[in-house]
Amino acid sequence: MSSDKRSPLVVTIDGPAASGKSSTSQMVAARLDLRHLDSGMIYRTITHARLRGGEAPEQWTEQSVLHAARRVSVAPGATSFTPRLDGADCEAAIRGDAVTSTVSLVAKMPHVRAWVNALVRATAASHAIVVDGRDMGTAVFPDARLKVWLLALPQERARRRLVQRTGRAPTDAELAAETAELERRDLYDREQTQPAADAVWLDTTGMTQDEQVAKIVELALERR
Ligand code: DC
């Protein structure tokens, strides 16, 4: 917990893929009257910027990705931040398959990580935020007022993701394939996906989203 009363409030919500970080963070931010910053969105926007360069991702150097990163910014909206490339909103493009299948490669680059972390810190210097990601409570805001580590069993994360994508209950085969894919991603991302020693762990496997949000809001209000 930070003792610096001059710093804007920062709440970090980290956890593995599909643990519900972004939707939960957005709702927590709305309840606390803070803005939500999705740090994964910045990695996605850099990837989108670099993809426009045309070469195959296997040929990307870290320098060339950093060069693309310098065209990326985030703009404050009423409740969150939108991604910008050369000053233009690019929210729709960064959620597509091309970015999703390449972004992990970019997120492995140490200088790119340092660049993203500096942008996130600069944003937090002028705005009170709820920020979600993988390492917000460890690498970026070790003194955050509240750090949450959000987790759920892989099968439950897979089920939620499939319901969100298709709007119906998944078959056993779909569930098995999606669970395997999430476990593969957990393994690939594990280095940068670690809980802070002082994070509050929230296992959401048996919880509704409203319950998760209420719990985090309660913790944040206790520490405000
Ligand atoms: O949460 P997401 O799927 O939008 O994240 C996109 C990618 O960025 C994913 O590979 C995880 C990575 N990421 C990261 O390494 N560190 C963060 N703080 C946020 C995301």
Distance 189 CA to ligand 1 centre (A): 8
Tell whether the torsion through CA atoms of 209, 211, 214 and 215 is positive or negative.
negative
State the alpha helices, DSSP H only, in 86-197: 91-94, 97-100, 103-107, 110-126, 154-166, 172-189
As annotated, the residues of the chain forming the CATH 3.40.50.300 domain(s) are 8-19+134-224, 35-127
Q: Which residue has the tokens 């949450």?
A: 148
Q: Is the pTM of this model over 0.85?
A: yes
| Residue from 14, 41, 103 to probe ligand 1 pocket by mutation (most atoms less than 8 Å from CB) | 103
Residue ranges around ligand 1 (CB below 6 Å): 17, 39-40, 43-44, 103-104, 107, 133-136, 189, 192
Q: What is the pLDDT of residue 164?
A: 87
Cα separation, 7 vs 201, in Å, equals: 24
Distance 104 CA to ligand 1 centre (A): 7
**pLDDT tens-digit series, residues 126-180:** 999 999 999 999 999 999 999 999 999 999 999 999 998 899 999 999 999 999 9
Classify strands 146-151 and 10-14 as parallel, antiparallel or unpaired: parallel
Q: Which residues pair with 151 in a beta bridge?
A: 203
Distance 147 CA to ligand 1 centre (A): 17
Residue minimizing CA distance to atom 15 of ligand 1: 107
**pLDDT tens-digit series, residues 32-63:** 999 999 999 999 999 999 999 889 999 999 99
The fold for domain 8-19+134-224 equals Rossmann fold (3.40.50)
The fold for domain 35-127 equals Rossmann fold (3.40.50)
Please report, for residues 115, 162, 165, 212, the alpha-carbon distance to residue 126 in angstroms, rounded to integers and kept in the order given.
Answer: 18, 37, 35, 27
